[in-house]
Structure 1
Amino acid sequence: MNKINIDDILDFATEKSARKAIFKEDRVDTGLLLYAPGQTTPDHKHSDIDEVFYVISGEGTITINSEEMLLKEKDIIFSPNGETHGFKNTSSNNWVVLQIKIDISKKD
């Protein structure tokens, strides 16, 4: 069992958003999405991954299938495979999002 303190891996890049890996085991991959003000991840989709996003701190918008939604601290959202999604930090503070990926192409 591994323990990680999130404060120890917060490292915001100035030029673009960053993903910091936390744990990866078989079908599950967790990481932090780190967005400085104004940073984005373009709309994209995965055919073989379900994702859960939980906002640890800050706020920003997620676009899901062309619908924009505000996500703030303690909000959680599920994005199933095949759904288009993208992110934008629309605030003046850093935005930290826990990402949990579940690879549905792998069988138990």
Structure 2
Amino acid sequence: MAFIQQLPKGSGIPVHRHLDRDEAFYVLEGSGTVTLNDVRHSCEKGGTIFIPRNTWHGFSSPDQELVLLWIMVPPGLDGFFRETRSRPGEPRKELTRSRSTQSVSNMGQNTSGLRHLPRTAKTLSPKLARG
């Protein structure tokens, strides 16, 4: 399963983990930070990030938009993203912790892995390689 993930300036993805899925990201545009197991690393255009299953991770884009090509194996979370996304031109949906938990639970996924991204996050990954 592959997606384009756009993180507007000042936004992010809370720290979480997937117990049964690996993820890979390629930074298409911008720069930001990625947290892997509580270690923050910078990421920028042309970089790649691999996140093995059961690894705590999150993203932030404090200074500019961050655009990621995102690949998840095996597939299965597409329903969550269809339910929670904002289409181009629509106002951005507020994705609260309770809404995220409910959406993930609706798909039969484990919700014990959600944590809040530290407010002071600045990030890049040890698994980050320049492309």
Query: TM-score when scaled to structure 2?
Result: 0.55
Distance (Å, rounded) in 1 between the aligned partners of 2:65 and 2:33: 13
Match of 2:73 in 1: 102
Question: Which of 30, 35, 50 in structure 1 is aligned with 2:22?
Answer: 50
Segments ≥4 residues shifted beyond 4 Å = none
1:88 matched to 2:60? yes
Q: Which amino acid aligns with 1:34?
A: Q
Structure 2's unaligned 5+ residue stretches are 76-131
Match of 1:12 in 2: none
Give the count of matched residue pairs. 76
* Distance apart, 1:68 and its partner CA: 0.3
Structure 1's unaligned 5+ residue stretches are 1-28
Match of 1:6 in 2: none
Distance (Å, rounded) in 2 between the aligned partners of 1:63 and 1:50: 15
Question: Which of 20, 23, 45 in structure 2 is aligned with 1:73?
Answer: 45
Larger relative contact order (C-alpha < 8 A, sep ≥ 6)? 2
Distance (Å, rounded) in 2 between the aligned partners of 1:63 and 1:94: 17
Query: TM-score when scaled to structure 1?
Result: 0.67
* Distance apart, 1:90 and its partner CA: 2.0
1:41-63 CA-to-partner distances (Å, cap 9, x unmatched) read: 10000011000011000000000
1:18-72 CA-to-partner distances (Å, cap 9, x unmatched) read: xxxxxxxxxxx10011111110110000011000011000000000000001000
* Distance apart, 1:80 and its partner CA: 0.3
Q: Which amino acid aligns with 2:21?
A: I
* Distance apart, 1:77 and its partner CA: 0.9
